[in-house]
């Protein structure tokens, strides 16, 4: 017995000393999780013949049909919140261009946040316009779409969901592991994969079929009032283009953080809250001006209920604060833009051409 035991040990030790290259008795590792995904064909919008700039899709999270479908399911699933009552869509509803129609959305147990929900469309272009330097949220505290998902999940006033528990919860819901397996090749659900799937869905939320887009493609005409509004928007007269993009920027924002003169002393420090720098106090993310008819109320605190109020603010109510932008400041001597009633209406009529009814009713974006 003892002899055989020693012999066995010897054989084992000889085997284990062997260089695998010498002779290869080891069965090549076949990926147990070999899986096939369907690449998603992202159709880029056009203005005339000019194709919108290509998105930068992270190499480790390519868009796939399976990943996007899973992301959509998670986006609408209330089980992603601590007491299974709130989903992302509770505050980002498709009919409101993925924003909310209240100044402050109610999170878990009716808790109210202190900022207005932001619409979700074309958000992935931030990384194209500001490569490596783009941010998310009104105050810029997140730097990637993937990473951003953690914000609302863990926020006690939003979804108040312990992340470790969420992973356990999702793994225990029978329908989920097979869907993760199809999308990512692993049925062991992790937080990283939850973030990846939701981010994929968010990247597909593209708004590009407003009346203005169709005008840019030569499909429809704008009327005289809308054209005059465009002219005001794009020139020093109303000066919107400095921040909200010009008529050659289909996104209608530059994605930068600015102080548009809402308060002389900002109550919410915005970007300054996050960076701690005095020069950032009162700076907020410049929102896109697409889909405004669906996203009221306006501004980071939802203080304006109508576009008329917003235009009157730029026209006569902008405030001088320590960080108020130069573009706003330059109109102070006139008390603001000082537009006529007709010009104000023209500007609003132009802004309404940026409403994308096809986007807000697109069945692909709904559960």
Q: Which lies closer to ligand HEC via its Cβ, residue 47 or residue 93?
A: 93
Terminal C-alpha separation, the chain: 68
Contact call for residue 127 and ligand HEC (CB under 6 A): no
Backbone φ/ψ region at 323: left (φ over 0), alpha (ψ -120 to 50), beta? alpha
Q: Which lies closer to ligand HEC via its Cβ, residue 134 or residue 214?
A: 134
Q: Which lies closer to ligand HEC via its Cβ, residue 86 or residue 206?
A: 86
C-alpha 299/C-alpha 294 separation (Å) is 14
Contact call for residue 115 and ligand HEC (CB under 6 A): yes
Q: Which of 176, 274, 298, 365 is in the footprint of ligand HEC by CB under 6 A?
A: 298
According to the 3-state scheme, what is the secondary structure of the chain?
A: CHHHHHHHHHHHHHHHHCCCCCCCCCCCCCCCCCCCCCECCCCCCEECCEECCCCCCCCCCCCEHHHHHHHHHHHCCHHHCCCCCCCHHHHCEHHHCCECCCCCCECHHHCECCCCCCCCCCHHHHHHHCCCCCCECCCCCECCHHHHCHHHHHCCCCCCCCHHHHHHHHHHCCCHHHHHHHHHCCCCCCHHHHHHHHHHHHHCCCCCCCHHHHHHCCCCCCCHHHHHHHHHHHCCCCCCHHHHCCCCCCCCCCCCEECCCCCCCCCCCEHHHHHCCHHHCCEEECCCCCCHHHHCCECCCCCECCHHHHHHHHHHHCCCCCCCCHHHHCCHHHCCCCCCHHHHHHHHHHHHCCCCHHHHCCHHHCC
Site for ligand HEC in 326-355 (CB under 6 A): 327-328, 347
Q: How far is the CB of 31 from ligand HEC (least distance, A)?
A: 30
# binding residues, ligand HEC (CB under 6 A): 49
Q: How far is the CB of 23 from ligand HEC (least distance, A)?
A: 53
Contact call for residue 169 and ligand HEC (CB under 6 A): no
Q: Which lies closer to ligand HEC via its Cβ, residue 213 or residue 240?
A: 240
Which range of residues in 24-32, 46-54, 152-160, 181-189 is near ligand HEC by CB under 6 A?
Answer: 152-160
Contact call for residue 189 and ligand HEC (CB under 6 A): no
C-alpha 160/C-alpha 266 separation (Å) is 28
C-alpha 116/C-alpha 268 separation (Å) is 12
Contact call for residue 240 and ligand HEC (CB under 6 A): yes
Q: How far is the CB of 262 from ligand HEC (least distance, A)?
A: 5
Which range of residues in 7-15, 54-62, 113-121, 165-173 is near ligand HEC by CB under 6 A?
Answer: 113-121
Contact call for residue 251 and ligand HEC (CB under 6 A): no
Contact call for residue 124 and ligand HEC (CB under 6 A): no
Which range of residues in 37-45, 47-55, 221-229, 233-241 is near ligand HEC by CB under 6 A?
Answer: 233-241
Contact call for residue 289 and ligand HEC (CB under 6 A): yes
Query: Which candidate, 78, 75, 80, places its Cα nearest to that of 92?
Result: 75
Contact call for residue 139 and ligand HEC (CB under 6 A): yes
Contact call for residue 359 and ligand HEC (CB under 6 A): no
Which range of residues in 1-9, 33-41, 168-176, 291-299 is near ligand HEC by CB under 6 A?
Answer: 291-299
Phi first, then psi: give them for residue 245, nearest 5 degrees.
80, 155
Task: Output the six-digit token pair for 97.
Answer: 């261009």
Contact call for residue 137 and ligand HEC (CB under 6 A): yes
Site for ligand HEC in 191-230 (CB under 6 A): 198
Q: How far is the CB of 341 from ligand HEC (least distance, A)?
A: 15
Contact call for residue 121 and ligand HEC (CB under 6 A): no
Task: Output the six-digit token pair for 325.
Answer: 């932008």
Which range of residues in 47-55, 60-68, 150-158, 166-174 is near ligand HEC by CB under 6 A?
Answer: 150-158
Q: Where do contacts with ligand HEC occur on this chain (CB under 6 A)?
A: 86, 88, 90-92, 105, 107, 113, 115, 117-118, 120, 123, 136-139, 148-149, 152-153, 158-159, 198, 238-240, 242-244, 258, 260, 262, 284-287, 289, 292, 295, 298-300, 310, 314, 325, 327-328, 347
């Amino acid at each position: 017995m003892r002899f055989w035991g020693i012999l066995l040990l010897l054989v084992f030790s000889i085997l284990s000393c062997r260089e695998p290259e010498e002779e290869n008795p080891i069965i090549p590792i076949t990926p147990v999780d070999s899986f096939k995904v369907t690449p998603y064909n992202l159709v880029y919008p056009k203005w005339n013949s000019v194709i919108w700039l290509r998105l930068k899709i992270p190499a480790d999270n390519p868009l796939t049909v399976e990943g996007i479908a899973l992301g959509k399911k998670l986006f609408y699933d209330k089980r992603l919140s601590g007491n299974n009552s709130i989903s992302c869509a509770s505050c980002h509803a498709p009919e409101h261009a993925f924003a909310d129609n209240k100044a402050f959305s109610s999170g878990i147990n009716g808790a109210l946040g202190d900022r207005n929900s932001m619409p979700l469309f074309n958000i992935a272009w931030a990384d194209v316009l500001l490569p490596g330097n783009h941010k998310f949220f009104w105050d810029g505290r997140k730097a990637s779409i993937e990473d951003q998902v953690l914000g609302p999940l863990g926020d006690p006033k939003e979804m108040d969901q312990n992340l470790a528990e969420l992973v356990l919860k999702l793994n225990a819901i029978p329908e989920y592991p097979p869907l993760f397996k199809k999308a990512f090749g692993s049925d062991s659900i992790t937080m990283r994969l939850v973030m990846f799937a939701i981010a994929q869905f968010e990247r597909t939320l593209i708004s590009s079929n407003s009346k203005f887009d169709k005008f840019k493609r030569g499909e429809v005409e704008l009327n005289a009032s809308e054209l005059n509004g465009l002219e005001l928007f794009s020139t020093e007269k109303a000066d919107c283009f400095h921040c909200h993009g010009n008529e050659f920027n289909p996104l209608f924002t530059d994605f930068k953080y600015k102080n548009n003169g809402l308060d002389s002393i900002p109550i919410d420090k915005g970007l300054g809250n996050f960076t701690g720098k005095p020069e950032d106090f009162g700076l907020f993310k410049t929102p896109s001006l697409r889909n405004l008819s669906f996203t009221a109320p306006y501004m980071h605190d939802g203080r304006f209920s109508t576009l008329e109020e917003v235009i009157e603010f730029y026209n006569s109510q902008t405030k001088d604060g320590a960080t108020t932008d130069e573009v706003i400041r330059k109109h102070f001597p006139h008390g603001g833009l000082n537009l006529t009633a007709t010009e104000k209406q023209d500007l609003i009529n132009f802004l309404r051409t940026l409403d994308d009814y096809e986007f807000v009713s697109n069945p692909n974006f709904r559960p």
